[in-house]
Amino acid sequence: MLRNDNFLRALSKQPVTRIPLWLMRQAGRYLPEYCETRKRAGGFMTLCQSADLACEVTLQPLARYDLDAAILFSDILTVPDAMGLGLYFETGEGPRFQRPLREEQAINELFAPDPYDSLAYVLDATRVIRKALDNSVPLIGFSGSPYTLACYMVEGGSSKDFRHIKTMLYTRPDLLHRILTVTSQAVTAYLNAQIENGAQAVMLFDTWGGSLSNAAYQEFSLAYMRQIIAGLRRERDGEKIPVIVFTKGGGLWLESIAESGCDAVGLDWTVSLGDARRRVGGKVALQGNLDPNVLFAPPQTIALEAEKVLASYQTAGDDMTGLVFNLGHGISQFTPPEHVHALIEAVHGYPR
């Protein structure tokens, strides 16, 4: 039995002993111990592909901070890499693919990999981390959403204008639907494998869904996340497996996301948490949503800004149930580690 189950209880809108908190990208470059482990590993993918090293960095923020959940250390691009696109990291440019999907033949040959084959290293890490946590806090598994993964797969890496994928979306939507269909199959199998190997909640990161028009978001992003959610295992060993959906820039579609079958909706910092609570009407839990850049401010300001977010949620309902506190996106590598303590103390101590 978990010694701290507040995160899972909040996702089920049950009473909690304190407001649970975890941070997107909580195991990352802002921590000196992470940088040391990554240097010892010799590269990011080596770090991901070693179960022991992935476990080490997953646990590092938990050793430093009083967090309420751990998140599997991996990368969303492991899935397209397993699909044969050839992931590599270019210094100063981030992740790239050797074989981006631009040609019809390559798209028609795309396949959904067996996660127990080409992604076995992620599942090994999941088992090792779950054992090392020793029922202290829950373990979150994750994947990128099909549309977000497709952005990288078609563009060949990060993009500012999404020129290639949006050209495909408007000129050959059939090809993009083919990519999204296969990728949805891959993500469903991948997340179910994470659940089978110990993940106690899973999250879909739809980082680039907010770049779409309203109609395109419904057709090319949300529809495929709905398919994944419908295909996920939602219980293991008698315990519910909650699903969180996070679309960066997705505040316009909050009601639609809440109807997707997920248990919780993640929000970025552009959305009022109180307004979001009123809009979903208790249908789902909410996760978010402090601006990550607040963590560059002095500790007193961090505490005040966190309390504003919490007060917004509280004024929209009778209590604080159904809330998981998080940032509105991943923590910056330039964040002073000591500032995270101020945030955690403010959230766990609310209301003062």
Q: What is the pLDDT of residues 22-34, one digit of tens each?
A: 999 999 999 999 9
Of 31, 134, 275, 66, the C-alpha closest to 265 is 275
Q: Which of 66, 75, 275, 291 is catalytic?
A: 75
Average model confidence (pLDDT) across the chain: 96
Percentage of the chain beyond pLDDT 70 is: 99
Answer yes or no: 40 catalytic.
no
- Cα separation of 257 and 279, whole Å? 11
Answer yes or no: 25 catalytic.
yes
Contacts 24+ apart (CB under 8 A), 29-35: 29/333, 30/331, 30/332, 30/333, 30/334, 30/335, 30/336, 30/337, 31/60, 31/61, 31/64, 31/337, 32/337, 33/60, 33/64, 34/60
Which pLDDT does position 292 carry in this prediction?
Answer: 98
- Could you say which DSSP state residue 116 is in? T
Over residues 122-150, the mean pLDDT reads 98
Over residues 114-130, the mean pLDDT reads 98
Give, rounded to a whole angstrom, the gap between the first and last alpha carbons of the chain: 30
CB atoms inside a 10 Å sphere around CB 93: 9
Q: Which of 18, 25, 99, 102 is catalytic?
A: 25
* pLDDT greater than 90 at residue 222: yes
Q: Which of 9, 30, 34, 38 is catalytic?
A: 38
Any alpha helices (H) in the chain, and if so which ranges? 6-11, 32-41, 44-49, 51-64, 78-80, 104-108, 120-133, 146-155, 163-171, 173-196, 214-216, 223-231, 254-258, 273-280, 299-315, 337-348
Which pLDDT does position 158 carry in this prediction?
Answer: 87
**pLDDT, tens digit, 9 for 90 and up, residues 159-210:** 889 999 999 999 999 999 999 999 999 999 999 999 999 999 999 999 999 9
Torsion of CA 303, 247, 232, 70, to 10 degrees: -30
Over residues 150-154, the mean pLDDT reads 97
CB distance 139 to 200 below 8 Å: yes
Q: Which of 147, 152, 224, 313 is catalytic?
A: 152
Over residues 213-242, the mean pLDDT reads 97
* pLDDT greater than 90 at residue 125: yes
* pLDDT greater than 90 at residue 90: no
* pLDDT greater than 80 at residue 294: yes
Any alpha helices (H) in 42-138, and if so which ranges? 44-49, 51-64, 78-80, 104-108, 120-133
Answer yes or no: 279 catalytic.
no
> Phi, psi (5° rounding) for residue 61?
-65, -30
Which pLDDT does position 329 carry in this prediction?
Answer: 97
Which pLDDT does position 351 carry in this prediction?
Answer: 87
* pLDDT greater than 90 at residue 155: yes
Percentage of the chain beyond pLDDT 90 is: 93
**pLDDT, tens digit, 9 for 90 and up, residues 38-58:** 999 998 999 999 999 999 999
Which pLDDT does position 43 carry in this prediction?
Answer: 87
Range name among 90-94, 129-133, 251-255 with the lowest pLDDT average: 90-94
Answer yes or no: 116 catalytic.
no
Given pLDDT bands bounded at 50, 70 and 90, which one contains residue 89? confident
Sequence-separated (6 or more) residues with CB below 8 Å from residue 236: 195, 196
Of 147, 120, 173, the C-alpha closest to 228 is 147
**pLDDT, tens digit, 9 for 90 and up, residues 316-328:** 988 999 999 999 9
Over residues 221-242, the mean pLDDT reads 97
Of 241, 279, 219, the C-alpha closest to 12 is 241
In sequence order, the β-bridge partners of residue 147 are none
* pLDDT greater than 80 at residue 352: no
Answer yes or no: 75 catalytic.
yes
